[in-house]
Amino acid sequence: TAGSLALAIIERSASLVSAAISGLLTLKNEKIYNLIIEGSLFWKNQEFKKLCETYIKKLSKKNININHYKNSSLIGAAKLFY
């Protein structure tokens, strides 16, 4: 059905995004990682968000916080330094 196909695409997309993020997390050794993520797919599709959080924690075995900031494309990078 269309619903099961959509869910399969969401799961695959979440796994690919999570693999990329997990790979980046290996570049630094921090106690906790604060990730700033933007995009309507992540914030408006709770299943996608939940899958990403689960996959990132499973793949990286790191403590993460996923944050959303209004206008993060403008101020998100600055938040990394504070």
Per-residue pLDDT tens digits for 50-64: 999 999 999 998 899
Phi-psi region of 39 (alpha: psi -120 to 50; beta: other; left: phi over 0): left
Query: Model confidence at 72, in pLDDT bands (50, 70, 90)?
Result: confident
Contact partners, residue 67, CB within 8 Å, separation at least 6: 34, 35, 36, 37, 79
Report yes or no: 13 and 48 within 8 Å, Cβ to Cβ: yes
What tens digit of pLDDT does each residue of 23-36 get? 999 998 888 998 88
- Residue 40 has what pLDDT? 85
Based on its alpha-carbon atoms, the radius of gyration of the chain, rounded to whole angstroms, reads 14
**In DSSP terms, which residues pair with 36 in a beta bridge?**
67
Please give the structure tokens belonging to residue 46.
Answer: 């709770």
Chain centroid, CA 7 distance in Å: 17
